[in-house]
Amino acid sequence: QQQVKQSPQSLIVQKGGISIINCAYENTAFDYFPWYQQFPGKGPALLIAIRPDVSEKKEGRFTISFNKSAKQFSLHIMDSQPGDSATYFCAASRSFGNEKLTFGTGTRLTIIP
Amino acid sequence: DAGITQSPRHKVTETGTPVTLRCHQTENHRYMYWYRQDPGHGLRLIHYSYGVKDTDKGEVSDGYSVSRSKTEDFLLTLESATSSQTSVYFCAIRGQGASGNTIYFGEGSWLTVV
């Protein structure tokens, strides 16, 4: 059972455009929602994370939008650059105890000139 | 890189042979994890550990065992490798203090079972 559903599977965006990746979760106990960025041959690295007490979090060109009632969250990359080309994973977990991250299936983002 | 070292980084093995992947960390983190990454499945948790000799199963634990006899080392063993275990394996640790929710990943171990 896929507890975190991610879409699209792949995405091509022109340089300077906005990249949008969406995720939906099922477990209402989740209260920590990170996004990870992974370059080829490397391990995933934390990009940005949000908790459900806010609807939006912005760090530079990266923004997470969170809709608690719809159980959805999304990553927006503004002014997308070729260096943003990577695979992006959303994830979710509970905050307390040894709570494990549940990942989405990933989105391969390609930024074209 | 949160002081995580995985070994070997690349391995080709034959079906039916045992394989052990090692994860070594240098920062005394309590929680350690083994994930596998496969196209179309993202990252799936195999086993995790919350202390020396304290381990538990993840969502895809069949065919795998783990051991943690020292804080710094978390071993993943495939008792009898199968082609379905061809994958990229990532070790991860959970941050401490202010970064207590952050999971940090190693560089990965590419395993091919032929």
Give me the mean pLDDT over the B79-105 stretch: 89
The predicted structure's pLDDT at residue B8: 97
The predicted structure's pLDDT at residue A52: 87
Asked if B105 lies within 8 A of A43 by C-beta distance, the reply is: yes
Q: Determine the Cα angle at A45 with ends A63 and B1, to 5°.
A: 140
Asked if B50 lies within 8 A of A41 by C-beta distance, the reply is: no
Helix H, strand E, coil C: the string for chain A is CCCEEEECCEEEEECCCCEEEEEEECCCCCCEEEEEEECCCCCCEEEEEECCCCCEEEECCEEEEEECCCCEEEEEECCCCHHHCEEEEEEEECCCCCCCCEECCCEEEEEEC
Question: Is pLDDT above 70 for B98?
Answer: no
For the stretch B71-91, pLDDT in tens is 999 999 999 999 999 999 999
Asked if B31 lies within 8 A of A106 by C-beta distance, the reply is: no
What is d(CA B72, CA B21) in angstroms, rounded to the nearest whole number?
Answer: 14
Q: Which residue of A has its CA nearest to B56?
A: A98
Do A37 and A45 meet the contact criterion of CB atoms below 8 Å apart? yes
Give me the mean pLDDT over the B18-39 stretch: 95
Amino acid at A83: G
The predicted structure's pLDDT at residue A79: 98
The predicted structure's pLDDT at residue B95: 84
Q: How far is A71 from chain B (nearest CA, A)?
A: 20
> What stretches in chain A show pLDDT beneath 50?
none
How high does pLDDT run on average in chain B?
Answer: 93
The phi and psi torsions of B99 (rounded to 5 degrees) equal -105, 35
Q: Which residues of B55-81 are buried (b: 16+ CB within 10 A; e: fewer)?
A: beebebbeebebbbeeebebbbbbeeb
